[in-house]
Each structure stands twice: as structure tokens, then as C-alpha cells.
Chains A and B, each alone.
Chain A
């Protein structure tokens, strides 16, 4: 028997796979969060410029990364769904949206908590903050559109179109600190050059970023399982599954 990714494009097989993977990602996320927070609060030294308050970045940066990354994943699944009309792709992007919105909100919230001691203001209208706020608005708009459309097939496609149009905002957020002269600092981490921060701080941030990834995957899988059950409720396998339990 040859392995095929198409096998898992079927909601029935993916339902089982997601169910088996959820505990791994959930526990992985919990352990990594504890480890990451331990590094962040007990091992990482106090910053000589920013004092203790800099520790907010251990939450802020992973949350901001995830809010952008989840949007790109949603845009990817939307494109796949519109191109090949695969049902599971739309379900994945629906399952991811609330998590993305939560991370976008978290990045705005932690950013403003950090901004008050550092910049002396809860909020400034610079390019990165504004574009992150728009990302949060996009998430809200997409979820509002889904909830307004009762026919889920129409909702899937309409939402996918909107996601793809809004995707242009993500590179704008990412490069905003380069393109404009912003108050928000530039990137400290890049693939091209050595990071401009202490190794222990970097490792704490990366551990928490991976924890955020695992959390997102676990939550999205739980949510997608719910969506699959709801949409496939008239099929035989769901009936069997429900009778078995």
C-alpha cells in the first residue's frame, strides 16, 4: 500500500488522524509553555536598557508571529479549496480563524502593555501597529461573514475570497518596520544574520513560539473535528461513530 496525502483529504480519515494527533500537540504545547516561561522569567537576565518589562516580548513576539502565520495558512487553504474544491481545506481555514484572531488580539494587548513603560504611550499610530490592527479587523470581518451565511458551501467560498484579498496585508505588516521609519523597533531575529539578542532570551522566545504553534495545531484540530461531525452528520460513518460512543 502506498502512502498518499490524498487519503487524508477525506474528512472521514482526517477526523481519525486529527483525533490521534490532538493529545500529542496539546501536551507538547503545555510542556513547552512551562519550559519557555521558566526560561523567560527565571533564566533570562534583566535587560540593561528596558529592565524587567522587556519580558513581555516572550509572549508578544510569538503571538504576533502566529497571528500572521495563521493568516497565511488560512490563505493557503483558501486557495487550495477554491482551486480544487476540497471540502477539508475550507474546514481547516474555518477552524484556524478564531485562533488567529486571539493571537492578533494578544499581540496588540501585550504590545500596548509593553508600549506604556517603554514609549510612554499605550498606542501610537505607526505603520506596524496600524497594520496589525487591520489584521485583527480582517479576522473579525471574515468570521462575521461566515456567521452571516447559513449555507456553509457559499460561506466557505465567500470567506476564502475575502481571506485571499486580505492576504496582501501580511507582507505589509512584516516589512512595515523596513519600509517606513517606525517607532516599533526592527526585527531582532532574521534568517540571514546572527540575532541581535542574547542566546538565552532567543531560546526562550523560540521555545514559546513552538509552544504557540503546537497550541494552534491542537486547538484547530479539535475545532475541525467538530466542524467535520457537524457537516457529515447525515453520513453513515458519523452515525456509527455516535452509536458506538
Chain B
């Protein structure tokens, strides 16, 4: 069972390693969207510090959606997705493995870039730590929820925009608690409450999302 899960994850990591262009696009998108905000709203450090949590988090949502639209599309086009669903292994594990691989490929780099962006927005060091922690707990949620949308919109025309429309409303709790944790630590309140709620939401999605994704995949393939 776990061998199948690891195989799915390793396969996606390998594919990502061989196609670095796709991988870089999403990361640079994240950096560029965040960098647009100081240009748009002005460079005062005080204001930038106020908006930084929300800006970084919204950019992370958009960056994950950008890469999610292709989560199953390539496998669907060359038929390997159908073969994997036909295999005797449970499709829930396929869905879980795909989402985890997406998190490793696209979520973890966001964590590593985030401190640099935090410095651009003149966040103090301890707040940057909280930002990274909130992204560490929150980005799996983005991958898991997004995989549901990717499976539902598989092979549809205008799938990318549609995915955004379906999934952004579901991202709202992650955005509120994630950005809220950073906000609270900026205000000196301590981020524990928001981080706990974010972690609870992450556990809930981990329990529900793989099942929904596998059901959606079966609907999309039949």
C-alpha cells in the first residue's frame, strides 16, 4: 500500500525534475505577484508590513492554483492516469500521492522563498518565522483542496479559470487563519490560536480531500 503511494510520489518528483521550466514558472509567478504590490501601493515600510501577510498568502493561493490545473492533465492526455486508476491499488492513495507530490514540488519552494519576500516587506525576523510556519501547515491544504478541483475540471475547456472559480472559495479558511497567524504575531498577540485552527483545517482536508478527488477522477474518466 505504502509502496504504491511512494511510487506515485517518486514518479511525479522525477517528472518535475526533468521538466524544470514548468516548475520554475510557478515559483517566479509567486515572487512577481508579491513584488507587484509595493509598486502598486507605495513603498512605506509601515504600510507594507501591515499588508504583507495577506499579500504573501494570496500570492501563494494563486501560485498553487496555477500549477494545479496541470496536476492530472498530462497523465490524462497520455492515458497513464486511466491505467493507474485501473490498477488494483486504491485510487484514494493515487489522489493522496498526487496531492503530496504537488505539495513537495510546489509548496515547499514557497516556504523557502517566503523569508526573502518577508524582508522585502520589512517584516521582523520572528514574524518571518511565523509566516514560514503558517505556510508549512497551510500549503498542504492548498494542494489537497486544489487536487479536488483539478480532478473535477479534468479535460474541460477553460479548465484553469474554472478551477480558480471552484477552489478559491474553499481556500478561504486557510487564507484567514494563515494570514491571521502572521497578523496576530505582528500585533504581538501570539499566533498559536490561528495556527491551531489552521492545523485543524489541514487535518480535516487530509481526511476528506483524497476521497473526493478519487471519486471526481472516476467521474471524469468514465
| CA A144 to CA B160, docked complex, whole Å | 12
B169 touches A137 (CB 8 A): yes
B156 touches A166 (CB 8 A): no
Candidate in A137, A140, A148, A157 with the most chain B CB atoms within 10 angstroms: A148
Contact of A144 among B148, B165, B170, B212 (CB under 8 A): B165
| CA A148 to CA B166, docked complex, whole Å | 12
Interface size, A (range): 10 to 19
B216 touches A166 (CB 8 A): no
| CA A161 to CA B147, docked complex, whole Å | 13
Interface size, B (range): 20 to 34
| CA A166 to CA B167, docked complex, whole Å | 10
Also in contact, A162 and B166, with CB within 8 A (given A145-B152, A148-B156, A148-B157): yes
Closest to A158 in B: B152
Minimum C-beta distance from A135 to chain B (A): 9
| CA A149 to CA B215, docked complex, whole Å | 16
Contact of B219 among A137, A161, A165 (CB under 8 A): A161
| CA A145 to CA B163, docked complex, whole Å | 9
> Is there a chain B Cβ closer than 8 Å to A134's Cβ?
yes
Closest to B166 in A: A141
Question: Which chain A residues in 120-168 approach chain B with CB under 8 Å?
Answer: 130, 134, 137-138, 140-141, 144-145, 148-149, 154, 157-158, 161-162, 165-166
B169 touches A138 (CB 8 A): yes
> Is there a chain A Cβ closer than 8 Å to B158's Cβ?
yes
> Is there a chain A Cβ closer than 8 Å to B206's Cβ?
no
Closest to B159 in A: A148
B162 touches A144 (CB 8 A): yes
Minimum C-beta distance from A183 to chain B (A): 17
> Is there a chain A Cβ closer than 8 Å to B80's Cβ?
no
Residue numbers in B under 8 Å from A162 (CB-CB): 152, 166
Closest to A151 in B: B222
Question: Which chain A residues in 165-200 approach chain B with CB under 8 Å?
Answer: 165-166, 169
A158 touches B219 (CB 8 A): yes
Minimum C-beta distance from B196 to chain A (A): 15
Residue numbers in A under 8 Å from B165 (CB-CB): 137, 140-141, 144
A148 touches B215 (CB 8 A): no
Contact of A161 among B156, B158, B212 (CB under 8 A): B212
Contact of B152 among A134, A138, A140, A161 (CB under 8 A): A161
> Is there a chain A Cβ closer than 8 Å to B172's Cβ?
yes
| CA A149 to CA B212, docked complex, whole Å | 18
A137 touches B168 (CB 8 A): yes
Also in contact, A149 and B156, with CB within 8 A (given A154-B222, A158-B216): yes
B166 touches A161 (CB 8 A): no
Residue numbers in B under 8 Å from A144 (CB-CB): 162, 165-166
A134 touches B169 (CB 8 A): yes
Closest to B219 in A: A157
| CA A134 to CA B157, docked complex, whole Å | 24
Minimum C-beta distance from B63 to chain A (A): 20
Selected A-B contacts with CB under 8 Å, 18 pairs = A134-B169, A134-B172, A141-B169, A144-B165, A148-B156, A148-B157, A148-B159, A149-B156, A154-B219, A157-B219, A158-B152, A158-B219, A161-B148, A161-B152, A161-B219, A165-B148, A165-B208, A169-B169
